[in-house]
Structure 1
Amino acid sequence: MYSDQMSLADALATWSGESDERQALSEIVVALAEAGVRLSKAIAMAPLEPPAVTITPSAGEGTNASGDEQKPMDLYADKVVLDALAGLDVAAFCSEEADEPVTLRAGGRYVVAVDPVDGSSNLDVNAPVGTIFAILPAVDSEDQMPAILQAGNRQLAAGMIVYGPSTVLMLTVGEGTDLYVLDLNTHHFRLARGGIQLPTEANEYAINASNARHWGPGIAEYIGDLVRGKSGPREQAFNMRWLASLVAEAYRILTRGGVFLYPADDRKGYENGRIRLVYEANPISFLVTQAGGKATNGVDDILDLTPIHLHQRVPLVFGSATKVDRVRRYLVDPNLQNASSPLFSSRGLFRD
């Protein structure tokens, strides 16, 4: 779609053309990317220069609206992103770190949903973290909550910035998924790979196996078959990966294939899954589907779900389409949920 290694701003200018709507949308994406550049430095320097935060948490002492612990970097990043959007065509901003949306511009054409620092607990162990964002059309109302609670298939753009060995931006504007890398010399994102296609076959899966005793029917059997490897019904070996970082897992699967699972389970607070729909599952799912993959809550497509509230949680399964479809079969087919049946021990007909 674009020339090799062109800057994000130039790529978006090419995409925007003479369209006023696209130009305004591009300005928002560039602003979010610039916030990412600032956060990349702040995260790298945090062990030596922790962010100075004077913001009082809004959802309770030291926790956000979802009940998760708030670290100083969470609050700092939230302010950095919010400040970056000032003066742009954004009606409202919502974040994992705030109870309610923040009104920015009356009559703005877009709303922005953000997880400022996904996986912030990884900061203590120098593991990858990231920023996830979604941009949706605003509604003709002072109250923009209906705009924020639109189904994911209404997203106009989505992306994730991963702060790792390189700082990378995965971006979609609904015309494929592109990979940009932060150039440390110019401090701009440059195109590394356009039109990423998620590999269709890979013998890798990502799940937190320490929760196996809490999984319900279907997930336990699916993972059990993978663990059995060549001696099981799949008749091949699989590798498990788990980084405890949604953005890092998504980046690996977008570039190497496989499947990610964060299912619901029987623990308190996990009955409906753990990933936030509006500002985590939806943008990640948009990136994945635009790269030829698939994303569901185990059964239904994530992008077809209409959020009920801002911080709603959902189960999340994404990756290669054939693998995501296979997980669904395990969840809906009773024959695949009975580990004691003869069919379970010799399910050659279910290997596709």
Structure 2
Amino acid sequence: MTTLTEYLQSLQAQHAQVPSIEPITDVIDTIATVGKQITQLLRKGALADILGEAGAENVQGEQQKKLDVIANNLLLEALTANRHCSGVASEELDHATAGHQDGSLLVLFDPLDGSSNIDINMPTGTIFSLLPHPRLGEKIEDGDFLQKGSEQLAAGYLLYASSVILTFTLAPDLAQQVGIDDGVLMFSLDPDSGEFLLINKHIAIDTDTQEYAINGSNYRHWLPPMQQYIDELLAGKTGPRGKDFNTRWVAAMVGDVHRILCRGGIFIYPKDTKDPTKAGKLRLMYEANPMSLLIERAGGASTNALERIMDIEPNDIHQRVAVVLGSKNEVAHVQQRHQQ
């Protein structure tokens, strides 16, 4: 089976024609290495004293878990040491951190998505996004990261569950330049060899689905179009959709997106009225944009219920957004409801 190292080396062989490829593959390799460290900590669990609260809040006003802080520090240290990384922005930190001034890449990450699952031994993950440095040779600022999702060079995630999966993709234009377009790829961590092995590529999402993921406890806070949409699904065969739907909810975006890539579906974290000042719960730069690139590369769609997520012009590195992504026809149905 092809190892991650072998696959990245095959891409690097094209770096003379596409200068950005070597930095991208090197940064992905760095993230994968840190993923192995996080995996070891998760396997030890309480034995490694990683469970429970860290006793502080992050920039989002959320209570940090111990492993939130540990994972953030591991990624921050490794990425700022990578010569290709000019700057790093994390969901857990107020502002971006400078790396190598001559680096060509900006890296954004959510160090531990679904951290509420840590203490109950449920799936968690790491999400990452790679952007070009718009001012090569100059020290980075927060504003350098404010690029639309369509500007991403690559994106992916690590899923820590019964097995550890690394999933990533290159931007379509970049893949064409390289001459190797495998779409969305998945690598599984072999516990015996310690290597990530290629298990799937050219992943494609079915255009239709009968499976959806949403936190139904927030129903009373949703906007009327979303309530109407979910009412249709709950009505099943007796309702206007004429078919039954199943609900799945992992409480970690990584887990729900992984399921959609494997067998289709739709994931929704809508805007609600609990805090009218917020456009949504999830972060545009650390969660919505990288997952949108993966979903679109697999033939799915991703919107905020009104417009394509990767077309949104960001105004803050911690900007929030509503998210509706997955099987293309189902996403279109949600968008139609909201446009009406």
Amino acid at match of 1:167: V
Could you say what the CA RMSD is over the residues aligned between the two structures, in angstroms? 1.6
Distance of aligned partners of 1:52 and 1:216 in 2 relative to their CA distance in 1, 3 Å threshold:
closer
Is the 2:127–2:287 contact (alpha carbons within 8 Å) kept by the matching residues of 1? yes
What amino acid is aligned across from residue 275 of structure 1 in structure 2?
L
Give ranges in structure 1 of 5+ residues lacking alignment.
334-352
CA distance in 2, matches of 1:49, 1:307: 38
SS of equivalent to 1:252: helix
> Displacement, 1:305?
0.8
Q: Are residue 297 (structure 1) and residue 304 (structure 2) matched?
A: yes
Q: Does 1:236 align with 2:230?
A: no
Q: Which amino acid aligns with 1:31?
A: T
- Which of the residues 310, 316, 323 maps onto 2:317? 310
SS at match of 2:267: strand
Q: How high is the TM-score relative to the length of structure 1?
A: 0.89
Paired with 1:18 and 1:162, the residues of 2 have a C-alpha distance of: 28
1:265 to 1:232, Cα distance in 2 relative to 1, 3 A: same
Counterpart amino acid of residue 139 in structure 2: E
Of 144-153 and 249-258, the range deviating more from structure 2: 144-153
Q: How much has 1:52 moved relative to structure 2?
A: 11
2:303–2:324: 8 Å Cα contact kept in structure 1?
yes
Question: Quick one: which of 69, 84, 100 aligns to 1:105?
Answer: 100
- AA partner of residue 9 (structure 1): T
Identical residues among aligned pairs (%): 37
Aligned length: 323
Using structure 2 for the length normalisation, give the TM-score: 0.92
Residue 142 of structure 1 and its aligned partner are, at CA, apart by 2.1
User: C-alpha distance in 1, partners of 2:33/2:83?
Assistant: 14
CA displacement at 1:51 relative to structure 2 = 4.3
Residues 209 and 265 in structure 2, CA contact (< 8 A), matched pair in contact too? yes
- 1:11 is aligned, of 7, 14, 17, to 7
Structure 1, 138-147 or 122-131: larger mean CA deviation: 138-147
Distance 2:70 2:278 in 1: 31
Q: Is the 1:64–1:98 contact (alpha carbons within 8 Å) kept by the matching residues of 2? A: yes
Deviation by residue 1:171-226 (Cα, 9 ceiling, x = unmatched):
10124111110011111211000111112222100111111111112100111000
Which 4+ residue blocks in structure 1 deviate beyond 6 angstroms?
A: none
Q: Report the counterpart of residue 40 of structure 2 in structure 1.
A: 41
**How do residues 1-352 of structure 1 correspond to structure 2 at under 5 angstroms?**
5-19=1-15, 20-51=19-50, 62-85=56-79, 86-140=81-135, 141-174=138-171, 175=181, 176-268=183-275, 271-333=278-340
Deviation at 1:269, TM superposition (A): 6.3
Q: Contact conserved, 1:137 with 1:147, CA < 8 A, in 2?
A: no
Check whether the contact 2:208–2:328 (CA below 8 A) recurs between aligned residues.
no
> Is there any run of 5+ residues in structure 2 with no aligned partner, and where?
172-180
Q: Give deviations 1:19-42, integer Å, cap 9, x for gaps.
A: 142112100000001110110111
Matched position secondary structure for 1:205: strand
Provide Cα deviations, 1:116-163, integer angstroms capped at 9, x if missing partner. 000111111111000000010002132332331100001001011000
Distance in 2 of aligned mates of 1:181 and 1:73: 22
* Stretch of structure 1 that moved more, 7-16 or 283-292: 7-16
Q: Distance in 2 between matches of 1:183 and 1:155?
A: 29
Counterpart code for 1:171: F
* Offset at residue 270 of structure 1 (A): 7.2
Amino acid at match of 2:20: E
Report the 3-state secondary structure (helix = DSSP H, G, I; strand = E; otherwise coil) of the residue aligned with 1:105. Answer: coil
CA distance in 2, matches of 1:113, 1:307: 14
Counterpart residue type for residue 11 of structure 2: W
* Distance of 1:247 and 1:309 partners within structure 2: 23
Q: Are the aligned partners of 2:104 and 2:132 in contact in 1 as well (CA < 8 Å)?
A: yes
- 1 CA distance for matches of 2:10 and 2:34? 22
Q: Report the residue type matching 2:96 in the other structure.
A: P
In 2: Cα distance, 1:203 partner to 1:274 partner: 24
Following the alignment from structure 1 to structure 2, what is the Cα–Cα distance between the partners of residues 32 and 299?
A: 33
